[in-house]
Chains A and B, each alone.
Chain A
Amino acid sequence: MAKPAVIFGGPSDEHDISILTGLQVTRALGDVHAVYWAKVGDWYEVDSSLEAADFADGVPRKSRELTFVAAPGQGLIAKKRPLDIDAVLIACHGGPGEDGTLQGLLDVAGIRYSGPGQAASALGMDKLAFGAAMAAAGLPTLPRTLVTTGTEPAPAFPGPFIVKPRFGGSSIGIEIAEDWPTVLALRGGSSFFDQGAVVEPFLTESRDLQVAVRTYPKWELSAIEAPIRAAAGGIYSYDQKYLAWGGEVGSARELPAALEPGMEEEIRRLSARVTEVAGLRGMTRIDFLERDGEIVVNEVNTIPGSMAAYLWIDPPLSREQLFGDMVDEARSGPVRVFSVAGADGTALRSAGTIASKLG
């Protein structure tokens, strides 16, 4: 019988964290195919009762090898037979599992999946493009500039600056620089900026506000949280988010965040617009920055850690409910349908020989 599959891991900096999310989802959903995407890119079906530590030294024992065939009716193949999958819940953070690559692959294989499609996934992962899309739609956001060569002139906005890898979902590689020469030096010294860095003003007296939205069974907003930064002026780090606190659930935060009148409505309004402009689907976390009552859109995380399930406290929604709804949304239809309208052979019949085109 067809069952959902949960895909986690993947060749990403966040491979390990993705295993944690994947196992949580697998456990909550119960009867699923647990599909582990290894660091080097291999596919395996694993026992869904495994613990995180079983993955610490690589592929767990007794994993069943799968191959991915990107053709209709194929998909994940175990010993020549496709796994009988009715939908995929993607639990990959960062890298090709979140940036649209896997989504595109599943589109080609004709497999339905959770979360945004290939284009929205790619947009969410590209901080430069996402910021530009927000600005173009008239949403409040910070100015962002791109640094690739490390020789760029200083931007119009003054320091201090926050420097982030252009692509990448977590806080890995984020740095704060007092002045422009420091930014350029950072660009050269960190492998996280190989594909370019985006630079924006660092708002010292600001706070983060994060909210999850989901698009099924209807568009909904979770409670709003304010993560607590490690040190005054510091940023919310990867270690803080995941390592020291035993997962996002245990991180230091204010939930729900104390908000001044009108702020929640503003966040709700902006979140709805972000969903629309970016083409979000499934369960997404949107991060805002707030200073002196002014709220700007910062970034989206289309596959947030633990799926941001801990944010759904009012009314409380169980993990089973949240992840089950994601599967149902995935089952309900493909994100993208390829169109072949117009490819009816007319152009081919009237084309003549290829040789004549080369002349």
Chain B
Amino acid sequence: MRLSKSWIIAAKDFKTYRKKKNIISALLVTPFLVAVLITAVISYIGTRNSARTSPAELVLLLPAFLFVYVILAAYIATPISSYTIVGEKVEKSLEPLLATPTTDSEILLGKGVAAFLPPLAVLWGGSTLFMILMDLTTESKIGYYYFPDWNTALVLLLLLPVALLMSVMVNIIISSRVTDVRTGQQLGALTIIPFAGLYLAGELNLIDLGNTSNLLIVVAVLIVVDILLFFVSRATFRREEILTKWK
């Protein structure tokens, strides 16, 4: 597999996305909006005497709120990654692409990179804004700047990318099996379920997501899942079927 070929495909997709306003807006708005909204909620809670949150409770809430970005990672790539294969088919551009001297793996990797990097950059941008706003809002209550810490680094630098990658791979698999973008997006949105479940398990004290070892185990499991999904995506990418059966 030649990585340069995959990068050419990814670079072309980056150029294409810039012209797709719906994809750009879906990508950009949510992570930054979440940062602002959660900060607003925390500030509001802090101003109400009846619901005043203790510093200890805040320290528990902050990493839980940060986990929202992991859930977002599973969701936010859907518009882009579900567009990858099915979008090419809809625009009838897949046949000339498949006629070039590129392998299925190179095409899939290129599509994966194109669907992975923009959401990752936006999620890191949104979560950085979230941490800054939270630190500014909560420093006076808990006496120090909570973010960043080692667990935060682990969540943002490891868990978030592997969760995002899983979402991208699942969406690419769906994208190469369905025939229209909307169906791809609807099915792709289901990747949010395992991460929402993980978050819920944390809130119900079934798993301690503040524990570094637990987080590393989750990351390790997701890396294995991501690798498996890449091979599944290769196996499910049937160029003949895409060319001859899709109308």
Q: Do A and B bind each other?
A: no
B residues apposed to A, CB below 8 Å: none
